[in-house]
């Protein structure tokens, strides 16, 4: 099943590069959706089916749609941007991220993990039990955070009163 990983890896890296290199913002968003789907595929290949499905529901169904909405509300509807990511000021960004990549790969090389996976089946039931028992406090904190984010997003994005403009 090696080829599944390689296909997914090429898919993810390709769509990820497309997502940050294109000038048209909507094209970026569409490539980003492909990227999220590829990550979901990686989760499926790691036998974390629940996470794969959650990845699609949250990222493709919610975050990508939010990003599309933000593009529609802030830019020209065609999504064209004037500045290209290859302009002169961007070169330092590319150098910095290439340096980070080198550091990450270098540090990885020294401690080679050649451990093969023990097949283990974690069912939905285990995840549910863990969430309600061992991880109950983080679970509650996350739900509070999400509620706060929901309220905050609504308050921030609400139209300002007219007289202040």
Q: Are 21 and 85 in contact (CB under 8 A)?
A: yes
Write down the least CB distance from residue 143 to another protein, Å. Answer: 8
Among positive and negative, which fits the CA dihedral 122, 125, 126, 127? positive
Write down the least CB distance from residue 163 to another protein, Å. Answer: 15
Q: Which long-range contacts (CB under 8 A, 24 or more apart) does 34-38 make?
A: 36/60, 36/63, 36/64, 38/8, 38/11, 38/12
Write down the least CB distance from residue 161 to another protein, Å. Answer: 12
Q: Which long-range contacts (CB under 8 A, 24 or more apart) does 120-129 make?
A: 120/47, 121/47, 122/47, 122/48, 124/50, 127/50
- CB nearer to another protein: pick between 77 and 163: 77
Write down the least CB distance from residue 126 to another protein, Å. Answer: 7
């Amino acid at each position: 099943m090696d080829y599944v990983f390689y296909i997914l890896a090429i898919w993810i890296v390709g769509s990820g590069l497309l997502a940050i290199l294109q000038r048209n913002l909507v094209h970026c968003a569409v490539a980003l959706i492909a990227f999220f789907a590829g990550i979901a595929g990686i989760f499926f290949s790691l036998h974390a089916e629940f996470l794969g499905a959650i990845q699609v529901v949250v990222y493709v169904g919610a975050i990508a749609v939010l990003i599309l909405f933000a593009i529609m509300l802030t830019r020209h509807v065609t999504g064209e941007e004037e500045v290209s990511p290859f302009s002169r000021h961007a070169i330092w960004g590319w150098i910095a991220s290439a340096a980070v990549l080198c550091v990450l790969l270098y540090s990885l090389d020294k401690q080679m993990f050649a451990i093969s996976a023990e097949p283990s089946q974690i069912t939905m039931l285990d995840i549910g039990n863990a969430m309600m028992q061992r991880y109950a406090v983080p679970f509650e904190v996350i739900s509070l955070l999400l509620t706060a984010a929901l309220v905050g997003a609504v308050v921030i994005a609400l139209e300002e009163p007219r007289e202040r403009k």
